Amino acid sequence: MIEIRFHGRGGQGAVTSVELLALAAINEGKFAQGFPSFGPERRGAPVMAFCRIDNRHIRLRCKIAQPDVVVVLDPSLLKIQNPPADLKENGVIVLNTAKTPAEIRREFGYRHTLAVVDANLIAREVLGVPIVNTTMLGALLKATGIVKVESLEHPLQERFGPLAVKNFNALKVAFDKTIIEERQP
């Protein structure tokens, strides 16, 4: 089983991301669950969302305490929440940032595998708005290969209708532009 925890702010699409990812996994014949966790329901407040994917039935029904992957939609959360604090030793941090992996390591001391992409820039260029959920899904898929890129096409169509093409394009651009740097000793 792979356990993924998304950290974002209300309005960035973290909850939508886990729903889309779970649907893509289910469409591939896997088992998946996706669910949110948030306090005050307002735009801009920190939110978490969780996704589990496995080839067998998933019996857990709790928050993910020690994820395999942490996806950070808003890099400002690194300073106020430290999302990767309880990431598994061989875990992956997927981060929306214009910084390089080396800059992130110097600033935060992370040793985990890093996957970085400027999702804000891609979202503004491709979607015309700074909503980074689909771009960050592209980065997640590049970093983990948990589902095929094409497997998100149908869930995006169901969710976004006529805007699905732009969102799928944003996902693919992010997939191509994500930089991955393996775990540091």
Q: In this predicted structure, what is the pLDDT of residue 40?
A: 59
More confident residue, 112 or 37: 112
Domain boundaries, the chain: 2-181
Interior/surface letters 102-129, b for 16+ CB within 10 angstroms, e for the rest: eebbeeeebebbbbbbbbbbbbbebbee
Q: In this predicted structure, what is the pLDDT of residue 133?
A: 95
Percent of the chain with pLDDT over 70: 97
pLDDT range class, residue 25, cuts 50, 70, 90: very high
Reply yes or no on whether the pLDDT at 184 is more than 70.
yes
Angle ∠(60,49,141) on CA atoms, nearest 5 = 95
Task: State the angle between helix axes of 14-27 and 133-144 in degrees (0 to 180), rounded to the nearest 10.
Answer: 50
- Stretch 134-151: mean pLDDT: 98
- Stretch 34-52: mean pLDDT: 82
CATH topology for 2-181 is Pyruvate-ferredoxin Oxidoreductase; domain 3 (3.40.920)
* Contact assessment for residue 32 and residue 3, using Cβ atoms and an 8 Å cutoff: no
Q: In this predicted structure, what is the pLDDT of residue 39?
A: 61
Interior/surface letters 46-64, b for 16+ CB within 10 angstroms, e for the rest: bbbbbbbbbeeeeeeeeeb
Tell how strand 92-96 and strand 69-72 pair up: parallel
pLDDT range class, residue 38, cuts 50, 70, 90: low
The DSSP annotation for 99-141 comes to: S-HHHHHHHH---SEEEEE-HHHHIIIIISS---HHHHHHHHH
**Beta-carbon contacts of residue 82 (< 8 Å; ≥ 6 apart):** none
Q: What average pLDDT does the chain have?
A: 94
pLDDT range class, residue 185, cuts 50, 70, 90: confident
> What's the CA gap between 14 and 158, in Å, rounded?
17
pLDDT range class, residue 34, cuts 50, 70, 90: very high
pLDDT range class, residue 46, cuts 50, 70, 90: confident
* Contact assessment for residue 50 and residue 3, using Cβ atoms and an 8 Å cutoff: yes
- Stretch 128-132: mean pLDDT: 93
